[in-house]
Amino acid sequence: MSLTLQNVSRVVEGETWIDDVNLTLEPGSFNVLLGRTLSGKTTLMRLMAGLDRPTTGKIIMNGVDVTGVAVRERNISMVYQQFINYPNLSVYENIASPLRLAKMDEAEVDRRVRETAEMLRIDPFLDRLPLQLSGGQQQRTAMARALVKDSQIILFDEPLVNLDYKLREELRQELRALFKARNCIAIYATTEPNEALALGGNTAVLNEGRLLQMGPTAEVYHQPKDIITAEMFSEPPINVVPGRVNEEEVTFDDTVHFRLNNDLRRLTPGEYQFGVRASHIGLVPHSDDDLELPVRVDLAEISGSETFLHVHNPHFDLVLHLSGVHAYQVDEEIKVYFPTHKLYAFDDQGKMVHSPARMREQ
């Protein structure tokens, strides 16, 4: 029951929304589509669902070309970002509606509806109308409707965005558990790298309608193919610093340079972009080859119990991701420690040419 997209493009009014996407999703897999808003996540999902037709390319399910097949002929489910239920039907009827249309017998419908509702913990509300429920319960109803039938593909288009933080975490965990036992293709779109990491499975990174990289989530995270993937797949985005490599040194600018360590020695001399994750830069040295950098504070952004510290030196800006709440004055001069052995290097085309040794082993 695999789903294959072959050279799929979609052009709307002269604008390319999806640009030549090739990918194959295996049954029983959980796939995350990661990309910013307008990167084409929803469009791609609509193409997979059959709600829109690709301008060129083929969509193949189990070896059968389904490009022109209408949605209702395909066996899929979809959960939207907005809470979409039939407002005039009770929660029970909402969940039952796909089964009723499949002409299932009444006892089986009842058993399935109750089972699914229980799984999503909306069983006490079966007699209510969707609009009498809270946002989280409404979305659970929509999910129940998607899960109640045995779809081959289940699409989630940022289903948790409109929910509050706590509820989001809770539902995310449940969702992952719900799919463990199923042999369907689950596709989950999100803008948040952290959500992709929390969900695991596979991740496909989308940018401006192009599929940048697809693979197991951890692999994509640790081994991004290029600079855009690396930037998209970390929160805050990975720091990118231009630098030059010669025979024995890496030079970021006239004042900052360090000797090539074993790790970076493979790089041929030339211009590179160096990437370092915000969480890897520290306020104290972690190992002896850390590079000490004097910087000025621009902004300390406190988010929950974490601090995003924006700093700059005369040549580049950096963002540090610190755990705990730290207060800094603007323009305060501090020293940060740059981990030279945790650097990614990208060539002038943006392709990754080097990743940290520890990451490669994983």
Partner 1 sequence: MTQSSTTPMTHEKTSQGRASQNTKVTKEQAPVYSRADRKARNANLRGRFGLALYVVLLLLPIYWLVNMSFKTNTEILSGLSFFPADFTLENYAKIFSDSTWYMGYVNSIFYVSMNMVISLLVALPAAYAFSRYKFIGDKHMFFWLLSNRMAPPAVFLLPFFQLYSSVGLFDTHIAVALAHCIFTVPLAVWILEGFMSGVPREIDETAYIDGYSFPKFFVRIFIPLIRSGIGVTAFFCFMFSWVELLLARTLTSVEAKPIAAIMTRTVSASGMDWGLLAAAGVLTIIPGMLVIYFVRNHVAKGFALGRV
Among 26, 62, 65, 71, binds partner 1 (CB under 8 A): 71
Select 40 or 236, whichever has its Cβ closest to partner 1.
Answer: 40
Question: How many residues lie near partner 1 (CB under 8 A)?
Answer: 21
DSSP 66-124: -TT--GGGS-EEEE-SS----TTS-HHHHHHHHHHHTT--HHHHHHHHHHHHHHTT-GG
Q: Could you give the CA distance from residue 44 to residue 18 in angstroms, rounded to a whole number?
A: 7
**Which DSSP helix (H) or strand (E) runs through 325?**
none
Q: Could you give the CA distance from residue 340 to residue 14 in angstroms, rounded to a whole number?
A: 45
Handedness of CA 132, 136, 142, 144 (dihedral sign): negative
Query: Shortest approach of partner 1 to residue 74 CB, angstroms?
Result: 8
Select 59 or 295, whichever has its Cβ closest to partner 1.
Answer: 59
Q: Does 294 bind partner 1 (CB under 8 A)?
A: no
Q: Does 68 bind partner 1 (CB under 8 A)?
A: no
Determine how β-strand 153-157 pairs with β-strand 185-190.
Answer: parallel
Q: Could you give the CA distance from residue 196 to residue 30 in angstroms, rounded to a whole number?
A: 10
Stretch that binds partner 1, among 76-84, 215-223, 241-249, 296-304 (CB under 8 A): 76-84
Stretch that binds partner 1, among 70-78, 203-211, 215-223, 342-350 (CB under 8 A): 70-78
Select 70 or 284, whichever has its Cβ closest to partner 1.
Answer: 70
Q: What type of residue is 48? A: M
Stretch that binds partner 1, among 96-104, 189-197, 226-234, 241-249 (CB under 8 A): 96-104
Q: Does 82 bind partner 1 (CB under 8 A)?
A: yes
18: nearest Cα among 8, 4, 26, 28? 8
Among 80, 258, 308, 328, binds partner 1 (CB under 8 A): 80
Q: Does 59 bind partner 1 (CB under 8 A)?
A: no
Among 41, 112, 145, 168, binds partner 1 (CB under 8 A): 145
Among 97, 116, 239, 273, binds partner 1 (CB under 8 A): 97
